[in-house]
């Protein structure tokens, strides 16, 4: 339990797809299950602004630490970080709680994994909410057609290099990663304590390579055809996201059979930290259905 964890959450260890994953879980045993997936390079506790409202609304809330992060297993090789393996983790931890279906929320890489899980297993995902994360099948076409996205995505190419990114990012106690978080967010979004806690996780043996392997595994050809998303979907995007363009938002939303977009003009990539109540309210409205007030 960390200092900012909702006291209704308890730590647990669940079996993913051939890995063990740390997670926080809370809420009534019979409440509808909501799974919250964090992104790169953050941690489960970045959902702190949404956990409380979801618990208050009667949901069973599960917030896992993604594979490779923190104290989780860090399997070697790129195949362990392919999207199909990451999506399988989500289904496995839901199975561990005895749930056949659930609501799924993801930000950044957690959002990409959430897209993939909903594509591959629509019968398991009741509703999907994605924050600042592109549909897995649209980024190549968006990058080809939108030069601005190429400039925003330069770091993805850098991360493909072996060993050099790890060496650069580790320098001076992860100064570049700390700077990226503060420069890409509204002032005060990440406290010094937040950054220190994240850096402590990044410094764990094998963690940084595992985190970068999410990007490196993108080189591997997808094991499925491009696909639309059938569960009801809410896509929330920050207008000041420095990593992802409006074109990525529009193209992702267009891949949804039943999709609604929420564009937050003044928010950055870290919108759930900057506007926690607004994002929590939007998630709850999505879960309650299109007729909710």
Query: Is 81 part of the annotated catalytic residue set?
Result: no
What's the CA gap between 116 and 108, in Å, rounded?
A: 13
Which of the residues 38, 107, 135, 269 is marked catalytic? 269
Which of the residues 194, 215, 241, 272 is marked catalytic? 215
| Residue from 27, 247, 31, 35 nearest 121 by CA | 35
What's the CA gap between 29 and 59, in Å, rounded?
A: 9
Cβ neighbours around 98 below 10 Å, total: 8
Query: Is 107 part of the annotated catalytic residue set?
Result: no
The structure tokens listed for 17 are: 């797809």
Cβ neighbours around 170 below 10 Å, total: 16
Query: Is 194 part of the annotated catalytic residue set?
Result: no
Which of the residues 108, 137, 194, 201 is marked catalytic? 108
Which of the residues are catalytic?
A: 108, 215, 269
């Amino acid at each position: 339990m960390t200092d900012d964890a909702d006291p209704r959450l308890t730590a647990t260890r669940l079996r993913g797809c051939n890995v063990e994953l740390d997670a926080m879980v809370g809420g009534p045993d019979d409440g509808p299950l909501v799974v919250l997936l964090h992104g790169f390079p953050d941690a489960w506790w970045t959902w702190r602004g949404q956990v409380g409202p979801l618990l208050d609304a009667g949901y069973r809330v599960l917030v896992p630490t993604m594979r490779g992060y923190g104290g989780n297993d860090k399997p070697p090789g790129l195949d362990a970080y392919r999207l199909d393996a990451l999506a399988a983790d989500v289904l496995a931890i839901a199975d561990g709680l005895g749930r056949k279906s659930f609501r799924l929320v993801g930000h950044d890489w957690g959002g990409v994994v959430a897209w993939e899980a909903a594509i591959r297993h629509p019968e398991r995902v009741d509703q999907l909410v994605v924050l600042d994360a592109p549909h897995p099948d649209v980024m190549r076409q968006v990058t080809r057609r939108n030069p601005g996205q190429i400039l925003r995505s330069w770091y993805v190419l850098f991360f493909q290099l072996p060993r050099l990114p790890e060496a650069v990012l580790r320098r001076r106690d992860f100064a570049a990663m700390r700077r990226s978080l503060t420069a890409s967010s509204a002032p005060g979004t990440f406290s010094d304590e937040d950054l220190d806690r994240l850096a402590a996780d990044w410094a764990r043996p094998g963690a940084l390579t595992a985190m970068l392997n999410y990007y490196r595994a993108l080189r591997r050809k997808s094991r499925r055809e491009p696909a639309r998303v059938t569960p009801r979907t809410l896509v929330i995007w920050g207008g000041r996201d420095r990593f992802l363009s409006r074109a990525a938002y529009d193209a992702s939303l267009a891949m949804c059979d039943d999709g609604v977009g929420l564009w937050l003009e003044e928010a950055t990539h870290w919108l759930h930290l900057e506007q926690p109540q607004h994002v929590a309210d939007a998630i709850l409205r999505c879960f309650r259905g299109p007729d909710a007030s």
